[in-house]
C-alpha cells in the first residue's frame, strides 16, 4: 500500500502544448526546455551564472521566475511529488536527483519507478473527478509551479477523503440507508413510478408504458442524445428463477442496448445470483442501488411523501 506524504508537490508542463507528455509518461522522465541555460551551471549550483545566460534586456522579474523553475527541476529532493495531466488523467511521480542534458540541450530527470495515473485503490484519476482548484495549475504560463492544494492532492492519490468531504459522504450513506426500508415498502406501481423517475431525472425519455402491451418490459426508454434504447422490468419481489427467465428473454430481444431488472425485494437466491451474473448488458438493481439512485436524483422527498 502506498504512503504518499510529500512536503511539497509541483506541477510540470511537459513541453509546449504538451508535446513531450506522451514520451515522458511512457519513458518515465521529467523534461524541461531552457536550452539557453547551461547544464553545467545548474549542476554546480552556480545560479548567478545561470541567470547571466538570459539576454541583458530581459525583464529581471521574468528571469528570476524562470531561473527559479530551472532550480526547482534540478534541486528538488526525491521526496517532492510531481504531477502533470495527460490523456484526460492526472499523473504523478517522484523523481531521482540525476539530471541529464540531451543533444538538443533540453534537460531530463528520471522518474523513480514510473508515472502513475491511479490512486492507492487502483482507481484511475480522471480529470473530471478532480477539483477545479487543482486543475487550475494547467493554466500556469510557465513550466513548473507549486501545487497549493497539496492536502487535497494527497487525499486523491491515497484514495481517501478530506475530513469535511468524509463527513458529507457519511451523511449521504446514512440517507441512502434510511430510504431503503421506504423503498422496500413501496406498492408495485409506486416502485415502477420511482424507477421511471430515476431514469427520467438522468435524461432518459419514456417512449411508452410498454408493460401495457409488452409483457416482458415495463419501461422502454430512449436517450435523446445517442438514440440508445433500453428496456426495464420492475418487480416488487423476485427470485433467481424469475431473474434467469428475463436474462433468457433479453438474449432474444433486438434493438435494446441494455436491460435493467429492478426489484426492491429479491429473495436470498436472487441476491447470490445477481452478485455473479450481472454483466454490462443485463443489469440488476436491488434496493441498495435504487436507494442510491433516488438520493442522487433528488427523489428522497418523493419517497417520504409516499411513506407519510
**pLDDT tens-place string over residues 98-127:** 999 999 999 999 999 999 999 999 999 999
For the chain, list residues with pLDDT below 50. Answer: 210, 213
In this predicted model, what pLDDT tens digit does every residue of 214-250 receive, in sequence order? 667 899 999 999 999 999 999 999 999 999 999 889 8
Which of the 8 DSSP states describes residue 281?
Answer: S
Write down the pLDDT at residue 214: 62
As annotated, the residues of the chain forming the CATH 3.40.1350.10 domain(s) are: 164-307
Calpha distance 184→59 (Å, rounded): 70
Q: How far is CA 47 from the centre of its chain?
A: 41
Q: Which of 202, 199, 276, 206 is nearest to 240 (CA)?
A: 276
Residue matched to cell numbers 487525499: 155
pTM for this model (two decimals): 0.71
Which helix (H) or strand (E) covers residue 141, if one does?
Answer: none
Residues 229 and 257: beta-carbon distance below 8 Å: yes
Write down the pLDDT at residue 164: 85
In this predicted model, what pLDDT tens digit does every residue of 145-165 receive, in sequence order? 999 999 999 999 999 887 888
Architecture of domain 164-307: 3-Layer(aba) Sandwich (3.40)
Calpha distance 251→237 (Å, rounded): 22
Write down the pLDDT at residue 111: 97
Write down the pLDDT at residue 294: 96
Write down the pLDDT at residue 208: 66
Write down the pLDDT at residue 212: 54
CA distances to 32, 36, 62, 141, 168 from 55, in Å? 19, 10, 11, 20, 54
Calpha distance 70→75 (Å, rounded): 9
How are strands ordered across the β-sheet holding 205-208?
205-208, 219-222, 229-238, 258-266, 282-285
Residues 99 and 43: beta-carbon distance below 8 Å: yes
Calpha distance 61→12 (Å, rounded): 20
Amino acid at each position: 500500500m502506498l504512503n504518499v506524504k510529500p512536503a511539497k508537490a509541483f506541477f510540470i508542463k511537459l513541453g509546449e502544448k504538451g508535446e513531450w507528455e506522451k514520451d515522458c509518461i511512457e519513458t518515465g522522465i521529467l523534461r524541461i526546455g531552457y536550452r539557453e541555460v547551461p547544464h553545467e551551471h545548474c549542476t554546480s549550483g552556480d545560479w548567478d551564472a545561470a541567470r547571466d545566460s538570459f539576454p541583458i534586456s530581459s525583464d529581471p522579474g521574468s528571469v528570476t521566475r524562470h531561473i527559479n523553475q530551472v532550480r526547482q527541476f534540478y534541486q528538488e529532493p526525491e521526496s517532492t511529488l510531481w504531477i502533470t495531466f495527460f490523456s484526460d488523467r492526472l499523473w504523478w511521480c517522484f523523481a531521482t536527483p540525476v539530471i541529464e542534458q540531451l543533444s538538443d540541450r533540453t534537460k531530463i530527470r528520471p522518474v523513480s519507478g514510473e508515472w502513475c495515473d491511479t490512486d492507492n485503490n487502483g482507481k484511475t484519476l480522471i480529470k473530471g473527478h478532480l477539483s477545479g482548484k487543482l486543475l487550475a495549475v494547467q493554466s500556469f504560463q510557465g513550466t513548473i509551479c507549486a501545487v497549493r492544494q497539496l492536502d487535497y492532492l494527497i487525499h486523491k492519490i491515497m484514495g481517501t477523503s478530506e475530513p469535511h468531504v468524509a463527513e458529507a459522504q457519511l451523511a449521504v450513506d446514512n440517507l441512502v440507508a434510511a430510504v431503503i426500508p421506504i423503498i422496500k415498502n413501496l406498492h408495485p406501481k409506486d416502485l415502477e413510478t420511482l424507477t421511471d423517475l430515476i431514469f427520467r431525472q438522468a435524461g432518459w425519455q419514456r417512449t411508452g408504458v410498454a408493460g401495457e402491451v409488452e409483457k416482458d418490459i415495463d419501461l422502454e426508454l430512449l436517450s435523446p442524445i445517442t438514440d440508445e434504447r433500453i428496456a426495464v422490468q420492475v418487480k416488487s419481489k423476485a427470485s433467481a428463477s424469475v431473474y434467469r427467465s428475463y436474462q433468457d428473454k433479453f438474449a432474444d430481444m433486438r434493438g435494446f442496448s441494455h436491460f435493467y431488472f429492478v426489484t426492491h425485494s429479491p429473495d436470498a437466491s436472487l441476491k447470490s445470483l445477481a452478485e455473479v451474473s450481472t454483466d454490462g448488458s443485463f443489469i440488476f438493481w436491488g434496493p441498495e442501488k435504487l436507494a442510491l439512485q433516488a438520493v442522487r436524483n433528488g427523489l428522497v422527498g418523493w419517497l417520504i411523501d409516499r411513506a407519510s
